[in-house]
């Protein structure tokens, strides 16, 4: 039985500065540079590579990097080893942070919701004990009655108990379900008292893929980091999950009364595109203005440090608990103490201290305000106001499965931008260019692109025109799509474009895997090959289920995909919990279980149970392709498999023709005002190495190595 072997660095303190995902990525880039440079890495050729690394790109020039390296290596031809390369990378990170005044934080220029873009990288990390104590208190409060976890709770915040408890993966899976109920089917979680390495790795893989599916940014964290209990990475992930939970109601779908915050002239699309964090700020300022507060709060750090804004907010929301002495108090620490005492009367748990307020802890203050919103939002319960919102809002459309799938897929790719609403956030073209650069590296001419914020409309059009130009070069069907359609936010045309991007990425990854196993020979994989592969896998496992096409109605019971998952990983499906799928309830149980099992083995998928039940053709294709990708990566296909796929049956060819016809017609249909079919989820950031590397097979195919 083989265990996990990562990149080993001789200096433990140096190795501790990076995750295994980062080390693998950096090592691969370093070795590639050496191969391309005659076997040597020197101060001559390293600057070009380092300029492209995370944290250095666009903030430091090659000349500056070369000058920095020359201080340690005066001889331009002196060879630099991998560990020296890592040290210089850290030194440059420190230099950049110092130059930017400590940098970090998410920057005012970012359109992303700052907590969701909080990086899980280990570079220049610090462990925030106050945040740790707050998150531990949250876990103790919300999970104390959980049947499995209650024997381990409460957690002591002052020691390492939290990081030890995370090692088996159950706690993080439970926390994800707390944030977005139903994300993980608990039947897929391994919950024995003592887990073996495979079972523990499966839980962590399920956790990370599910975290991506609810909007967390986890591109720099792998299962091994969770197994090792790395505190900074674990706190970063927990922080994102908890804040997704606390901000879950800050949208018009969950809280239609939020329409009260906007005047009638406000475009509804603009309202819906606000991130939860910005919506929370708008809600807070709405009540502060009513209470007579003269300032505008624009952040959850410096603007609330004196506690005055909190005193006015509680006065507006809970005057019965807000004595005048709070506002009259001059000492910020004393005022912060009084504010927390008042908030506790609203049943807001004291997860932060007066010191956290006066020091401007952004994460904890945001969580505090979100808690106040949950317990008393102070918005009208006037049914006429709510009815007005429901008739005017297209929230149901914007939060549909198509928008959700694209949003999660884009956010999982590791692009710099964070998407809160697809149809609004792609209108300046920059996000689409970032996606294109991920799925087709080098295709974007960044010298011709404008980065947000973009004030001049023609700059947005230039970005979008380049998107369309690249799409045509990639052979997308974009007959009726122009850059201006993206700028104008034409939802159907944007949906059709993004689907083709997803499908291109999916087939590209499959072809890349097959070329590695076969060399350069063999034709490109098609939709028909994916169908043929799935049927042959299920048949080879001794089962009789087959799908005629990706819209085969028999797929709605979910059993075929569970048989396929069992075929590629025999031990992963517990058939005792699988239903016959005869009614809607049984179908949903199977579909939910299918998605969790797929994520558990390493497939990064974003579809919902309804997509399986309703047999959404495109989502069925991408689910099947994701399983195929994982299987081929785990064990390169044999020659017999290749030969089977090279001659797809007429049934498979018909299925491929259906998908291809829809692709070719999607742009035309959208432009003519026809309804576009539900769009699919993609294999997502299988483009990053973490989703691949964390699913290393054990011998005999009996599990995933820890």
Question: pLDDT, tens digit, for every residue of 115-137?
Answer: 444 444 444 445 788 899 999 99
Residue 238 banded pLDDT, cuts 50, 70, 90: very high
Instruction: Answer for the pair 389, 259: CB distance below 8 angstroms, yes or no.
Output: yes
Residue 405 banded pLDDT, cuts 50, 70, 90: confident
Instruction: Answer for the pair 325, 354: CB distance below 8 angstroms, yes or no.
Output: no
Compare 508 and 115 and report the one with higher pLDDT: 508
Instruction: Answer for the pair 644, 532: CB distance below 8 angstroms, yes or no.
Output: yes
Mind listing the pLDDT tens digit for each residue in 446-461? 999 999 989 899 999 9
Give CA–CA dist 514/698, Å, rounded: 21
- Of 581, 576, 612, 570, residue with least CA distance to 594: 612
CATH topology assigned to domain 129-247: Actin-binding Protein, T-fimbrin; domain 1 (1.10.418)
pLDDT for 351 beyond 50: yes
State the pLDDT at residue 25.
83
pLDDT for 463 beyond 50: yes
From the number of C-beta atoms within 10 Å of its C-beta (0-12, 13-18, 19+), residue 539 rates as middle
State the pLDDT at residue 659.
53
Instruction: Answer for the pair 703, 194: CB distance below 8 angstroms, yes or no.
Output: no
The predicted model gives 241-262 an average pLDDT of: 88
- High-pLDDT (> 90) share of the chain, %: 49
Bond preceding residue 528 cis, omega within 30 of 0: no
pLDDT for 636 beyond 50: no
Q: What is the CATH number assigned to the segment(s) 527-634?
A: 1.10.418.10
Mind listing the pLDDT tens digit for each residue in 135-155? 999 999 999 999 999 999 999
Compare 94 and 283 and report the one with higher pLDDT: 283
Instruction: Answer for the pair 500, 476: CB distance below 8 angstroms, yes or no.
Output: yes
pLDDT for 114 beyond 50: no
pLDDT for 37 beyond 90: no
Domain 394-515 has CATH 1.10.418.10: yes
pLDDT for 388 beyond 80: no
From the number of C-beta atoms within 10 Å of its C-beta (0-12, 13-18, 19+), residue 291 rates as middle
State the pLDDT at residue 106.
37
- CATH class belonging to 12-100: mainly alpha
Span of 186-195, 372-381, 455-464, 565-574 with lowest mean pLDDT:
372-381
Compare 119 and 213 and report the one with higher pLDDT: 213
Instruction: Answer for the pair 686, 623: CB distance below 8 angstroms, yes or no.
Output: no
Longest pairwise C-alpha distance within the chain: 81
The predicted model gives 209-229 an average pLDDT of: 88
Instruction: Answer for the pair 450, 462: CB distance below 8 angstroms, yes or no.
Output: yes
256-375 homologous superfamily? Calponin-like domain (1.10.418.10)
The predicted model gives 348-362 an average pLDDT of: 87
Q: For 637, which DSSP code? A: P
Q: Could you tell me the residue ranges of all domains in the chain?
A: 12-100, 129-247, 256-375, 394-515, 527-634
Span of 65-79, 213-227, 498-512 with lowest mean pLDDT:
65-79
Q: Which of 82-86, 249-253, 464-468, 647-651 has the highest mean pLDDT?
A: 464-468
State the pLDDT at residue 101.
47
Residue 522 banded pLDDT, cuts 50, 70, 90: low
- High-pLDDT (> 70) share of the chain, %: 79
| Structure-token match 């994701």, residue found | 626
The predicted model gives 362-379 an average pLDDT of: 92
pLDDT for 393 beyond 50: no
pLDDT for 28 beyond 90: no
The predicted model gives 405-432 an average pLDDT of: 90
The predicted model gives 334-358 an average pLDDT of: 89
From the number of C-beta atoms within 10 Å of its C-beta (0-12, 13-18, 19+), residue 543 rates as middle
Residue 306 banded pLDDT, cuts 50, 70, 90: very high
State the pLDDT at residue 27.
86
Chain-centroid distance, C-alpha 544: 36
Span of 119-128, 397-406, 560-569 with lowest mean pLDDT:
119-128
State the pLDDT at residue 585.
96
Give CA–CA dist 507/427, Å, rounded: 26
User: How far are the Cα atoms of 135, 167, 462 from residue 350, in angstroms, in the given order?
Assistant: 11, 27, 50
Q: Which of 12-26, 292-306, 691-705 has the highest mean pLDDT?
A: 292-306
Span of 388-397, 473-482, 515-524, 609-618 with lowest mean pLDDT:
388-397
For the chain, what is the mean pLDDT? 81
The predicted model gives 260-288 an average pLDDT of: 81
Residue 398 banded pLDDT, cuts 50, 70, 90: very low
Residue 691 banded pLDDT, cuts 50, 70, 90: very low
Handedness of CA 425, 429, 434, 436 (dihedral sign): positive
From the number of C-beta atoms within 10 Å of its C-beta (0-12, 13-18, 19+), residue 485 rates as buried
For 115, the token pair is 């907590």
Instruction: Answer for the pair 430, 451: CB distance below 8 angstroms, yes or no.
Output: yes
State the pLDDT at residue 658.
53
The predicted model gives 326-335 an average pLDDT of: 90
The predicted model gives 163-169 an average pLDDT of: 93
Q: Integer distance in angstroms from the first to the last C-alpha of the chain? A: 11
Give CA–CA dist 31/226, Å, rounded: 27
Fold match, 129-247 / 527-634: yes
State the pLDDT at residue 648.
40
Give CA–CA dist 25/29, Å, rounded: 6
Span of 85-99, 194-208, 554-568 with lowest mean pLDDT:
85-99
pLDDT for 528 beyond 70: yes
pLDDT for 300 beyond 50: yes
Residue 267 banded pLDDT, cuts 50, 70, 90: low
Give CA–CA dist 360/365, Å, rounded: 7
Mind listing the pLDDT tens digit for each residue in 202-211? 999 999 999 9
Give CA–CA dist 68/47, Å, rounded: 10
State the pLDDT at residue 555.
96
Q: Which of 55-69, 426-440, 500-514 has the highest mean pLDDT?
A: 426-440
């Amino acid at each position: 039985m083989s265990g996990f072997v990562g990149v080993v660095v001789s200096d433990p303190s140096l190795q501790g500065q990076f995750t295994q995902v980062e080390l693998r990525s950096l090592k691969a880039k370093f070795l590639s540079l050496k191969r391309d440079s005659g076997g040597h890495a020197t101060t001559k050729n390293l600057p070009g590579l380092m300029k492209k690394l995370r944290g250095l790109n666009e903030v430091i020039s090659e000349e500056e990097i070369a000058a920095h390296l020359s201080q340690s290596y005066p001889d331009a031809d002196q060879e630099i080893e991998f560990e020296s390369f890592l040290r210089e990378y850290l030194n440059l990170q420190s230099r950049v942070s110092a130059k930017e005044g400590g940098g970090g934080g998410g920057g005012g220029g970012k359109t992303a919701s700052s907590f969701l873009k909080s990086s899980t990288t280990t570079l220049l990390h610090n462990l925030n004990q106050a945040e740790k104590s707050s998150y531990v208190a949250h876990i103790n409060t919300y999970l104390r009655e959980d049947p499995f976890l209650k024997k381990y709770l409460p957690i002591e915040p002052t020691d390492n108990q939290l990081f030890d408890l995370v090692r088996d993966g159950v706690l993080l899976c439970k926390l994800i379900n707390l944030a977005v109920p139903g994300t993980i089917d608990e039947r897929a979680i391994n919950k024995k008292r003592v887990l073996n390495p495979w079972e523990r790795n499966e839980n962590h893989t399920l956790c990370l893929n599910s975290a991506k599916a609810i909007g967390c940014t986890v591109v720099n964290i792998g299962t091994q980091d969770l197994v090792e209990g790395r505190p900074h990475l674990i706190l970063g992930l927990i922080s994102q999950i908890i804040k997704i939970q606390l901000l879950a109601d800050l949208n018009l779908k969950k809280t239609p009364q939020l329409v009260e915050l906007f005047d009638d002239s406000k475009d509804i699309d603009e309202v819906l595109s606000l991130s939860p964090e910005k919506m929370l700020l708008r809600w807070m300022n709405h009540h502060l203005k009513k209470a007579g507060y003269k300032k505008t709060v624009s952040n959850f750090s410096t603007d609330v440090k004196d506690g005055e804004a909190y005193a006015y907010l509680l006065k507006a929301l809970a005057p019965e608990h807000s004595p005048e002495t709070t506002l009259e108090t001059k000492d910020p620490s004393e005022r912060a103490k009084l504010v927390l005492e008042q908030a506790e009367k609203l049943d807001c748990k004291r997860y932060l201290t007066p010191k956290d307020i006066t020091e401007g802890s952004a994460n904890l203050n945001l969580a505090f305000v979100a808690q106040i919103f949950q317990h008393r939002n102070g918005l009208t319960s006037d049914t006429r106001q709510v009815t007005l919102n429901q008739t005017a809002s297209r929230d149901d459309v914007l939060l549909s499965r198509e928008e959700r799938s694209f949003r999660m897929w884009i956010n999982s790719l590791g692009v710099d931008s964070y998407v809160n609403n697809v149809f609004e956030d792609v209108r300046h073209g920059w996000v689409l260019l970032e996606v294109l650069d991920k799925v087709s590296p080098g295709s974007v001419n960044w010298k011709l692109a404008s980065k947000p914020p973009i004030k001049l409309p023609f700059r947005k059009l230039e970005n979008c025109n380049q998107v369309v130009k690249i799409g045509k070069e990639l052979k997308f069907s974009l007959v009726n799509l122009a850059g201006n359609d993206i700028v104008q936010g034409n939802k159907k045309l944007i949906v059709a474009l993004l689907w083709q991007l997803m499908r291109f990425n999916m087939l590209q990854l499959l072809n890349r895997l097959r070329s590695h196993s076969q060399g350069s020979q063999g034709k490109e994989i098609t939709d028909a090959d994916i169908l043929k592969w799935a049927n042959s896998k299920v048949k080879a496992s001794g089962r009789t289920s087959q799908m005629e096409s990706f819209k085969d109605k028999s797929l709605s019971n979910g059993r075929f995909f569970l048989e396929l998952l069992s075929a590629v990983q025999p031990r992963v499906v517990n058939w005792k919990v699988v239903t016959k799928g005869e009614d809607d309830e049984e179908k949903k149980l199977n579909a939910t279980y299918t998605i969790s099992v797929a994520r558990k083995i390493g497939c990064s998928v974003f579809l919902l149970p309804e997509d399986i039940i309703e047999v959404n053709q495109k989502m069925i294709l991408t689910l099947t392709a994701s399983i195929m990708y994982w299987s081929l990566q785990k064990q390169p296909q044999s020659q017999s498999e290749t030969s089977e796929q090279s001659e797809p049956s007429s049934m498979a060819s018909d299925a491929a023709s259906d998908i291809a016809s829809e692709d070719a017609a999607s742009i035309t249909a959208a432009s003519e005002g026809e309804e576009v079919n539900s769009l699919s989820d993609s294999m997502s950031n299988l483009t990053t190495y973490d989703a691949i590397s964390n699913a290393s097979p054990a011998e005999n195919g009996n599990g995933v190595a820890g």
